[in-house]
Structure 1
């Protein structure tokens, strides 16, 4: 009888474990994109001392990471968009 109770409890726990796993993976992806954005921001600042542009984009990247963490529907998308824009900015400041 206790085996049936344990099996019933494990299926209920599995849904909670899956939800926790999905949340951790979403937050990890947001954090990875944010760290990459900060690294690109440091690269922008290091090229001919464009620290004001780098600071601006790092603040925007932090806001995007916060939005992605707060709004589950957005998830990683704001961070990815900002990372692409920052890479384009790095390309422009390093070419000129």
Structure 2
């Protein structure tokens, strides 16, 4: 399996039984393999955007387990606060200029 998700920050987990390799912009960021290749394990991850690639190979026969769950990382509340502050400065500067 080869899965590509680009330009989003996200966190998530992968339930797998044989192992996974995860790359962020071509750099290996997670390499996980199950000690017991027929038992499913969960690997959690956090990626900061860019090109994300998850590689899974079913190498040990049945059962074959792969389940991917992702959660987008929202813009921090500080971003909204920053925009509000900049808007306030702009309004203040405009009022001051008009007076």
| TM-score, normalisation: structure 2 | 0.31
Higher strand share: 2
Higher helix share: 1
Structure with bigger RCO (C-alpha 8 Å, 6+ apart)? 2
